[in-house]
Structures are given as C-alpha cells and as structure tokens.
Structure 1
Amino acid sequence: MDASTTEQQRATGERAELIVSLERHRGFLLQTAEGLTEEQARTASTVSALTVASLLKHVADTEEQWFRFAVEGAPAFGTEHEVYGENVDWDAIDAEAATNGGDGSGSEWEDDRFVLSEHETLEFLRAHIEQVAARTEEVLRSADLDTTHPLPVAPWFEPGVSWSVRRVAIHMLAEISQHAGHADIIREAIDGARTMG
C-alpha cells in the first residue's frame, strides 16, 4: 500500500464529506466557464459588474486565504490596513452604499477582489483553482477540524469570535455555492447555457 492510498483512506467520515462537497461545488463553478471564449468569460452580461472569469478568480483567492487562515490564523489576512488601505471610513462607506442602492458605487474604497489582470486567462484561473483545491484537501485531511483561530479585525466580523477549521470549510462551501449560482446566471445571459435545470 503506497502513501497516497493511505492518505485517501484517512479522509473518511466528516473529512471526506467536506472534501467531496467542496469539490462538487467547485465543479459547478468551473462548469460555467466550459466552452467560453476569453472575451465571453470577461463579459458582464447582467446588471452586475461580475463576470464568470472574475468569479473564478475571487473564489480561488478567497479559498486560498481562508484555508491559510485555518492553518495560520488571522495573519493569513494581513492587517486591515494592508488589505483595505489606510484610513478607510467604513461607516461612511456603509452610509454611501445605503444611499446608492447598496452597491457601494461612488465609495472612496474600491473592491479589487474581482479585478482581472491580463495574465489571468481561463487556463490560468482553472489551474489556480486546482492548485488551491489540492491545498484545501491537504489541510482537511490533516488538520484537527476543531482547531480554532480568532477572526481578523474587520467591520463585518463580530469581535472576539473564533472559527474552527470545520467552520472555515463550511463557510467556503457556502461561498463557492453562492458564486457558482452567480456565474450560472451570468453564463445563461451570455449564451443560454446553464449548469443545472
């Protein structure tokens, strides 16, 4: 019996269910990009600025960061200033978003988590997702699912709350599923193709 067989056998029960569920919903997301050209993948086909490619990027980056958090804790996110810039007035941004229909347009802070670089082609994004998925699986096979870390300081996190590795996996399952649905709507508006239904 080789080492990979032993590793596969170790992922049983809850671990295996988390790994398989994440893989399945990542698959739905990736399916939305099947058969698209680079131009179509970067097309904002709905009232949202989101594109299939920007969602692939965001999901991979988010999963990578959250599973680094699962291992390293809050330093995986950097400081609030490193991530969001200096002197961001979150109360003003929230107030502005409320007056602009909740979209945050006109805000002093720009969300660049969905902005694509030229090199981030579909091939690159798929490879990045696969690389991140392999790391996630490695963490879920080996980490104590009950290990917790305090959440980073941010306006949207309740102060003093900690998340377990398990909670991170469940959070990412919800995140991937939500964005797979977004991507499905965007794809259907491009050419009528749908992942399900």
Structure 2
Amino acid sequence: MNATTDPATTGSPAVTGERAELISALDKHRALLLQTAESLTESQARTASTVSALTIASLLKHVADTEEQWFRFAVEGAVAFEGGHGSEVDWNAIAAEDAWADVDWEDTRFVLAEHETLPHLRARVDQVAARTEEVLRTADLDSAHELPAAPWFEPGASWSVRRVAIHMLAEISQHAGHADIVREAIDGAKTMG
C-alpha cells in the first residue's frame, strides 16, 4: 500500500499530511522486513541462524499478528487483547508478588504452524497492512483507549490511534533489524547495510 495512491485507480481518496506519513513509514519498514525473506527457501526461512531462536518466518508471523492486534485495539479498545497472547496470566498478581521466576508461561508468539509458509506469511503481512492503512485513512488519530492491565503498561494509561501507529513503526523497525541479522547469518545477504 502506498499513501500516495492515485484515487482514480483505487477508489480511495489520497491521504496527505500526518496520515500519509504514518502509512508511508509503516510501508517502508514492512518492505524492509519482507525484503529479508526474498529468495529464501522454506528451510532457510525457518532457520535460527544466530544464538536467538528467531527466524525470518517467525518474525514475519509475529509482526503480522502484533500489528493486527494493535490496530484492532486502536479501533475496539482492550477487547482486542482478550483471549490473546498472555491473557491467561494474572500479570498484576505476579508483579505485586515479584514472582516473575515462578511464571509458568511459554511465549509462543514466534512458533510457526505447518501451513505458515513464506507465501502465506507474505500474504498475511500484506493483508494486515491493508487493514492498517484503512484504519489510518479513516480513524480519528486522537481517539484513544485505555491499555489492558499488564506490568509493562502504566496503570490507567491510554493510547491513541496515532500512538499505536508509532508503536507499530518501532515494533516493525526493530524486527526488520532482527531479520536482517538472521538473514546475514544465513547467506551473507544484507538488507540494511
């Protein structure tokens, strides 16, 4: 998706200003992430080539899932996090008791299912990007929702649609950097260097 899309060919009005900048920046960093997967085999895309467990494929999955959830939050509020990753854990009790070592919870956000092939993951990133662009084209950027209870969020804090977009820009950029390192360790290819 491109913020300078011609409305005559897409049926959507062109966006300008802050909205266009947010959409364009997200597109650019998603493209850098997707570029790390170019010309890889399925095996290479699932290779943890560094001391980390991260793979190119798992990063694509995580970014798509995370972006989808955060932009659902931007529109619907904290309900977007119900039943999702970590929702079964009482984070407030753990934080209050300083019982982090006792948490019986596994982070499965980067675990790939058999059907999550590179074509599937690329299509998913594009599908989520289209929904994000739709939200950024139409939503009130100042509209805000209270964040769900979690030890990493300030109690009672709210995030606007704009803040969600900025958060996702940071998230995508960070993971594009991770993917670049993973890719370089696979075959020496560099996306950003």
TM > 0.5 fold call: yes
Equivalent residue runs for 1:30-179 within 5 Å: 30-78=34-82, 83-86=86-89, 89=94, 91-93=98-100, 95=101, 108-179=104-175
- Looking at structure 2, the residues matched to 143 and 181 of structure 1 have their Cα atoms a distance apart, in angstroms, of 29
Please name the residue that 2:3 is paired with.
none
Q: Which amino acid aligns with 1:138?
A: E
Gaps of 5+ in 2: 1-6
Please name the residue that 2:181 is paired with.
185
Percent identity of equivalent pairs: 73
RMSD: 1.9
- Looking at structure 2, the residues matched to 8 and 30 of structure 1 have their Cα atoms a distance apart, in angstroms, of 26
**1:106-156 Cα shifts (integer Å, max 9, x gaps):** x62100000000000000000000000000000000000000000011111
**1:40-68 Cα shifts (integer Å, max 9, x gaps):** 00000001011010000000000000000
- Looking at structure 2, the residues matched to 174 and 86 of structure 1 have their Cα atoms a distance apart, in angstroms, of 26
1:23 counterpart SS class = helix
- Looking at structure 1, the residues matched to 90 and 150 of structure 2 have their Cα atoms a distance apart, in angstroms, of 13
- Looking at structure 2, the residues matched to 114 and 170 of structure 1 have their Cα atoms a distance apart, in angstroms, of 22
The answer to whether the aligner puts 1:23 opposite 2:27 as a matched pair is yes
What is the CA-CA distance between 1:71 and the residue it aligns to? 0.2
What is the CA-CA distance between 1:92 and the residue it aligns to? 2.5
**1:62-119 Cα shifts (integer Å, max 9, x gaps):** 0000000000000010068x744255645322x47xxxxxxxxxx6210000000000
- Looking at structure 1, the residues matched to 83 and 44 of structure 2 have their Cα atoms a distance apart, in angstroms, of 35
Preserved contact between residue 81 and residue 87 of structure 2 (Cα < 8 Å): no
Runs of 4+ in 1 over 3 A off after TM superposition: 1-5, 86-91
Q: Which amino acid aligns with 2:69?
A: Q
Gaps of 5+ in 1: 97-106
- Looking at structure 1, the residues matched to 25 and 77 of structure 2 have their Cα atoms a distance apart, in angstroms, of 23
Among candidates 6, 10, 17, match of residue 13 of structure 1: 17
Decide which moves more: 71-80 or 108-117. 71-80
2:107 counterpart SS class = coil
- Looking at structure 2, the residues matched to 60 and 8 of structure 1 have their Cα atoms a distance apart, in angstroms, of 25
